[in-house]
Amino acid sequence: MRRTKKVVKVGDLKIGGDSPIVVQSMTKTKTRDTKATIRQIRRLEKAGCEMVRLAVVNRDDAAGLKVVKQAVSIPLIADIHFDYRLALAAIAAGVDKVRINPGNIGESWKVYEIIKSAKDSGIPIRIGVNSGSIPQPILKKYGHPEPRAVIEAVRKMVDLFRKKDFDDIVLSAKAADVRDTIAVYQRLSEEFDYPLHIGITEAGLPFRGGIKSAVGLGILLNEGIGDTIRISLTADPTVEVAAAYEILNALGLRRHGPVLISCPTCGRCEVDLDKIARSVENRLKRYSNFMKVAVMGCVVNGPGEAREADFGIACGKGRGVVFVKGKEVKRSHENGLVEALFEVIDENIDNR
């Protein structure tokens, strides 16, 4: 069951409470290159991204935020490290949220300046701790960035916000180690009422990084922990969005886009199922509708699985049957199966 947290507004979106878990990503462009940044954000929006974070490295990036903000409708989050003045400039540019890192933002008075500006503008702040940038006094105390060190870094920063009566806060505390991340978020969820942004930092390339993220975040989400999610991958940011929705779909927490089910094949399979499944997967990218599509290779589980899906193929020897919600509607030779499936899909859905 979802653990209910305080509601925080980011633009028109609500985080926490009983709001849907929000999918976000981060641009991989230089924010000062506003044309490239706007193009990438529009692709992210098309992929289903609901909030996007942008790196603000210098004054030129901060100035670029204003241009980007005027060109897109998705809520923007300014990612700030080292220089508190960049947070002030980002807030002045109209961002919907600021993320600061306790490990490098500096002295308390700098944090207070950011809090004052955010409060005046009515926007929230994410306190984003990473295991790779724990404040030095805390790191020295524990010797390495173990979960206790990460949690202490969060606590100390939250205390500063509470002193200024600022509670429009989102928390995150990411580690590259899956078990450490799980332990940290479990503790944060027990200790704080603020919404949690969850992720595995520096997860890696899509295959391994996707698996690490699915394992760690899947456990947390299944325990009801997490209000926003980002899958950090060394890949195009739209891949991060797709991975996030796959995890949420698998747990029944969101219904977004097509879900493809295909069997692993064995010696019973008498069609080129790998080719068929890849072709179906590629063509499904054109659809935004939530639907379950099954591509099954033999008579053992094929007909049953295909009947349980919204649309399905069950294959035999060089041939196959197309199902719609359990009803056989078409038969085809192997070479025409994919086309037959999508003819049926297009006849039965409104792909808008």
**DSSP per-residue codes, 301-312:** THHHHHHHSSEE
By the 8 A CB rule, do 54 and 80 touch? no
Task: Write the pLDDT tens digit of every residue in 192-246.
Answer: 999 999 999 876 899 999 999 999 999 999 999 999 999 999 999 999 999 999 9
Task: Write the pLDDT tens digit of every residue in 65-95.
Answer: 999 999 999 999 999 999 999 999 999 999 9
By the 8 A CB rule, do 297 and 263 touch? yes
Helix (H) or strand (E) holding 11: none
Fold of 8-250: TIM Barrel (3.20.20)
**How far, in Å, CA of 343 to CA of 201, rounded?**
42
**How far, in Å, CA of 244 to CA of 257, rounded?**
12
**How far, in Å, CA of 338 to CA of 300, rounded?**
21
By CB atoms closer than 10 A (0-12, 13-18, 19+), residue 122 is exposed
- pTM summary value: 0.94
* pLDDT tens across the length of the chain (352 residues): 788 999 999 999 999 999 999 999 999 999 999 999 999 999 999 999 999 999 999 999 999 999 999 999 999 999 999 999 999 999 999 999 999 999 999 999 999 999 999 999 999 999 999 988 899 999 999 999 999 999 999 999 999 999 999 999 999 998 889 999 999 999 999 999 999 999 998 768 999 999 999 999 999 999 999 999 999 999 999 999 999 999 999 999 999 999 999 999 999 899 999 999 999 999 999 998 899 999 998 877 777 776 789 999 999 899 999 999 988 899 999 999 999 999 999 999 875 3
**How far, in Å, CA of 158 to CA of 125, rounded?**
11
**How far, in Å, CA of 246 to CA of 197, rounded?**
17
User: CA nearest 243: which of 208, 219, 196?
Assistant: 208
**Residue 266 assigned ligand-binding role:** yes
Distance of CA 85 to the CA centre of its chain: 28
Task: Enumerate the domain spans of the chain.
Answer: 8-250, 258-348
**Tokens matching residue 157:** 């920063």
Q: Does domain 258-348 have CATH number 3.30.413.10?
A: yes
Alpha-helical segments (H) within the chain: 34-47, 59-71, 84-92, 108-121, 136-142, 147-163, 178-191, 206-222, 237-250, 273-284, 302-308, 337-348
**Tokens matching residue 23:** 């999918």
Measured distance between the N- and C-terminal CA atoms of the chain, rounded to whole angstroms: 32
**Tokens matching residue 112:** 């207070």
**Residue 315 assigned ligand-binding role:** no
By the 8 A CB rule, do 176 and 131 touch? yes
